[in-house]
Amino acid sequence: MLTINNLVHVYGNGTRALGDVSLTIPTGMFGLLGPNGAGKSTLMRTIATLQTPTSGEIRFGDIDVIRQPELLRRTLGYLPQDFGVYPRVSAYDMLDHMAVLKGIADGKERKQTVEALLNQVNLWSVRKKALAGFSGGMRQRFGIAQALIGNPRLIIVDEPTAGLDPEERNRFLNLLAEIGENVVVILSTHIVEDVADLCPRMAVLAGGKIQLEGAPLELMKQMSGRVWKKAIAKEALPEHRARFEVISTRLFAGQTVIHVLADAQPGEGFEPASGGLEDVYFSTLAASRRPAVAQAA
């Protein structure tokens, strides 16, 4: 279990990226949702011991992550948002090199490890191909393979499906679900569907703070009967924003469809919306912005 208590990170220029973040993350898949700039990557890098927080505590089992970073690294697998590789090196040779860096010195053991991982992520058939020729999904699967070297008990993946086509995304998510059965896997993303598909627990991070935490199914139940939708003309959007609590807008068949949060039917033309995880997410973001809007006003 990973426990984060009162974590704060302020960069040298004064930017407060994390403000008093506390989370308890059990074994299994855990989704961390948030918009770009929410502080997700800062939190992931801090957990991965790549930067030291201004204050707070992180514990993984008996390991004090901040004071004992070397112990955490022995049991950590990390796939960052920007995963760089040597493009002209083959998948097999690159994974073999990374296994050496992770301390697998015995040649026979390393060979068994590399071959097993390439098979696990379905890259065995292209093991001799240079990484430069890999598709985005293949590169992400290779990234997971390197993260799994050494049988880690904590795995962090940061924005792993951004830019993948639907087929590669499904393949990658199925792989993550397999991995997440017996270890702690943190999936940091702004893609709501990834969390809905995979994670029994989740949190929403916005403005450097945890705005919501819970089980997606329970959070969706709480939204039941409170989300309404209506198709309107684009020019009518400012008026509806002024009258109703609009949590999201989207284009559909040339019209603007708004989702509104209200405890009862808010007006003529509104009909119940599904109240799915996307509505939970957008309503949470809308609530997180209210203090700033009120202060500005």
pLDDT digits (tens, 9 = 90+) for 215-246: 999 999 988 889 999 999 889 999 999 999 99
Tell how far CA 233 is from the center of its chain. Answer: 34
Cβ atoms 47, 2 nearer than 8 A? yes
Q: In what order do the strands lie in the sheet with 201-206?
A: 76-79, 154-158, 184-189, 28-33, 201-206, 209-214
Q: With beta carbons less than 8 A apart as the criterion, state whether 277 and 227 touch.
A: no
| C-alpha–C-alpha distance, residues 55 and 158, integer Å | 23
Closest CA to 259 of 275, 278, 246: 246
pLDDT in tens, 51-103: 999 999 999 999 999 999 999 998 999 988 777 768 889 999 999 999 998 88
What pTM was estimated for this model as a whole? Answer: 0.86
CA distance 102 to 150: 7
Does residue 161 have a pLDDT over 80?
A: yes
pLDDT band for position 292 (cuts 50, 70, 90): low
Range with the largest mean pLDDT of 54-58, 120-124, 136-140: 54-58
CATH of region 2-215? 3.40.50.300
| pLDDT of 297 | 43
Domain residue ranges of the chain, discontinuous segments joined by +:
2-215, 221-296
d(CA 129, CA 281): 40
- At 291 the pLDDT is 58
pLDDT at residue 22 above 60? yes
